[in-house]
Amino acid sequence: MTLRHFRIFLAVCERLSMTEAARQLHISQPSVTQAIHEMENHYGILLFERLGRHIYLTAAGENLKQYAYQILSLCQQAEDSHAALIAYPPGREHHHRRHLPGGAPDVLPQDAA
């Protein structure tokens, strides 16, 4: 399963509509349906019960939803950490930029900002 699958799955969980999830994610409704079917086939469980035009999260889907939130949260934390390392590499003095009267920028060490 990919992060894309989990994002789609959570959008469907939040909306309880494949069509609305597709709109939210700016993808086609058949792409959403396909991703959900791929997840159900991969895990061998039904994630949603389909009754007419309505869908409901199954107990298995509810269980997976908790893991999906954790997975996406951990990925976001890793990306944030990586971005911070790029912005402020270890061992380098960090500077904050501020503007002096008249608009001229002044660069100060981080501790003085």
pLDDT band at 81 (very low <50, low <70, confident <90, very high): confident
pLDDT, tens digit, for every residue of 33-54? 999 999 999 999 999 999 988 9
> What does the pLDDT read at residue 53?
86
What is residue 68's predicted lDDT score, i.e. its pLDDT? 97
Q: How confident is the model at residue 101 (pLDDT cuts 50, 70, 90)?
A: low
Query: What's residue 103's pLDDT?
Result: 53
Note the pLDDT of residue 113: 46
pLDDT surpasses 50 at 74: yes
Q: Which domains does the chain have, with CATH numbers?
A: 3-87 (1.10.10.10)
The model's pTM is: 0.73
- Torsion over CA: 61, 64, 70, 75 (sign): negative
Spell out the residues 6+ positions from residue 110 whose beta carbon is closer than 8 angstroms to its own. 93, 94, 95, 96
Round to whole Å and give the CA distance between 94 and 63: 44
Please give the residue that has the higher pLDDT: either 7 or 78. 7
